[in-house]
A and B are shown apart, each in its own frame.
Chain A
């Protein structure tokens, strides 16, 4: 019917004119306040970090390792290994302890926290019997003045974790919370390697290697 068509055309044009009004579009634009509201109010509604202006970080991470804070530095680049061959003991007996220096720095594009776990290395294959080796990391320097049997060197400074038995699993020697901002070199660290006093006689002449897995995680807040 002509009147129905006219009425439909009238409704369509009324709808179009309603959308066409600047006022209407301005009101819809106010929806953008939701982004503002999100930034301002999410702290009250969720337990997660709010978005703030300048926290988007691209670029790569780089944790580097050396013996002393003077370098030379290894583990250059992401996920590269470091050979701490200075951590060597040639004639270890029960109740003895040897201290070695270790250093870490952050040369990547982002702040990070790092930690480390200790485990049995593979080269040479672990030959010790009943896990007689322990390792402990200190924020300090090696004290190597003891040269008489049993040799019990120490590390100065404070321990970062309790002495850890070196097993096939991963034991924390540096808790994951040690923070290094980008460009920062950590204070000198000290690694103390010991054989327990109860090490069995069958350990005579055996060999092994310790692997310290350092892992850095980007800090984004």
Chain B
């Protein structure tokens, strides 16, 4: 035969034999050829490389090994181990592509996994191309040509001793072999930081002004406390206590409807204080707070002193101490 044909047949024989060996490796040792479909394991394992893995127990794995795992959405990822956790039969692996800046977001639980032991650049392109429509078409043509060589009638009648012997194992290997594509996926992260979130601070009202009101002929006099509304979001809680005993005699809330800086008033009457005696001092404590969240109160409160006055005709409240 011609030199070219002889050369092609020799090349084919070598490649075909290698394929048989890989297939045998797959059956005997679980060797799995992998096509690297992205460059995230670069530069050592570029996109289009062909790698070979074999299954190892999780307890044999070490940081730095390159392993091939299935993600939660059933794609195959082949990255390097950067962290191993866990005890017993299974391990929890954190993987990262050599060309990626951050580890994979998912951690993988494995009991047994495929560890890469060898890789060759560029051959993955060839294997992947063979799977494409054009590649399969040409492969089919090659197969037909090879069959023609095998079964061509020879002028002097040939010996076919090799034919039957070779066909069976090749046929078995064809059925059993598998090559899988692996997604050594690129990642990109974008940490996005907000501006500053600042919570509100409840501000106290200024000290109220006290004025004595009423008291016609000494009767029904009361003290009026007046202050400026701090914020439309606020209301004011007040407590009146008897100074000498500390007993609380009155509590309440004033929720003004006006705008900020409008006047807010609180009338301290004899009825409010449940007065029975004259010359008694009372403290009226006023603290601002949010209307929607009554637990958010101003850090300080104002205290206004008033006292009771007992006249022949009745009790009144006057500003200041007795």
Contacts and interface: CB of A to CB of B under 8 A. Distances in A.
User: Do chains A and B interact in one complex?
Assistant: yes
B101 A35 contact: no
B37 to A, nearest CB: 5
B17 interface: yes
Contacts, number: 349
Contacts of B179: 35, 38-39, 42, 51
Contacts of A221: 75, 183
Contact of A25 (B9, B37, B142): B9
B192 A22 contact: no
Interface residues of A, number: 102
Contact of B290 (A27, A59, A60, A93): A93
Given A26-B149, A149-B233, A83 B292 contact: no
Contacts of B132: 52-54
Interface in B96-142: 101-102, 104-105, 124-125, 127-136, 139, 142
Contact of B197 (A48, A133, A218): A133
14 contacts: A27-B162, A29-B142, A36-B139, A41-B177, A50-B180, A58-B46, A61-B187, A78-B101, A90-B198, A95-B292, A108-B188, A210-B193, A211-B193, A216-B190
A46 to B, nearest CB: 5
Interface in A10-59: 18, 21-39, 41-42, 45-59
A47 B197 CA distance: 48
B195 A209 contact: yes
Q: Which 10 A-B pairs have the closest CB atoms?
A: A53-B132, A29-B12, A31-B16, A88-B195, A220-B183, A38-B179, A87-B194, A75-B190, A28-B13, A25-B13
Given A27-B163, A31-B170, A217-B185, A93 B20 contact: no
A101 to B, nearest CB: 12
A29 B177 contact: no
Contact of A214 (B19, B146, B189, B293): B189
Contacts of A48: 70, 74, 76, 180-181
A199 B197 CA distance: 14
Contact of B180 (A25, A49, A150, A213): A49
Dominant secondary structure of chain A at its interface with chain B: mixed
Nearest to A212: B192
A81 B189 CA distance: 8
Contacts of B216: none
A22 B76 contact: no
A63 B187 CA distance: 9
A79 B233 contact: no
A150 to B, nearest CB: 5
Contact of A206 (B22, B37, B199): B199
Interface string A122-149: 0110001000010000000000000001
A51 B102 contact: no
B75 A33 contact: no
